[in-house]
Amino acid sequence: MSHDRHVDYLHDGHLYHPHGSHVDEHRVEIDASHPEDCTPDHACGGHEASHSHGADCGHAAAPHGGHTDYLVDDHLHHPHADHCDDHGPLVARELTRTDAWPCRQIRPR
Ligand SMILES: [Zn+2]
Ligand SMILES: [Zn+2]
Ligand SMILES: [Zn+2]
Ligand SMILES: [Zn+2]
Ligand SMILES: [Zn+2]
């Protein structure tokens, strides 16, 4: 399943995609576009080098394979040692309270 061409919604570390009359819960799969690679040279300017991702860091958390990444400028950052790995593009935006959601089938844990 490609996450490159549609918009998903992130909420509390979950990824949702409105699909017809219901909402799918998505997870970014590990694939060629979204590798689980270490990219120590990744420096995209999305945030200060000293930034450390976490629960309240200001970036939306996104599920990727078996781990959690953070959405920075439409791609996934995976905090790793003293750098961020680039885990590929994700077009998503954070679901806010004021967003009109197409249906009520989301049942976050
Ligand atoms: Zn790394
Ligand atoms: Zn980046
Ligand atoms: Zn962050
Ligand atoms: Zn980062
Ligand atoms: Zn990742």
> Model confidence over 34-93: pLDDT tens digits?
999 999 999 899 999 889 999 889 999 999 999 999 999 999 999 999 999 999 999 887
| Per-residue pLDDT at 9 exceeds 80 | yes
The confidence score (pLDDT) of residue 41 equals 94
| Per-residue pLDDT at 4 exceeds 50 | no
Residue 39 Cα to ligand 1 midpoint, Å, equals 5
Residue 49 Cα to ligand 1 midpoint, Å, equals 14
**How far, in Å, CA of 34 to CA of 42, rounded?**
14
Q: Which three-class secondary structure state does DSSP give residue 94?
A: strand
Residue 65 Cα to ligand 5 midpoint, Å, equals 7
**How far, in Å, CA of 51 to CA of 59, rounded?**
11
Q: Give the distance, in angstroms, between the CA of residue 106 and the centroid of all CA atoms in the same chain.
A: 17
| Per-residue pLDDT at 28 exceeds 80 | yes
Residue 33 Cα to ligand 2 midpoint, Å, equals 14
**Lowest-confidence range among 4-13, 21-30, 34-43, 96-105?**
96-105
Residue 22 Cα to ligand 3 midpoint, Å, equals 30
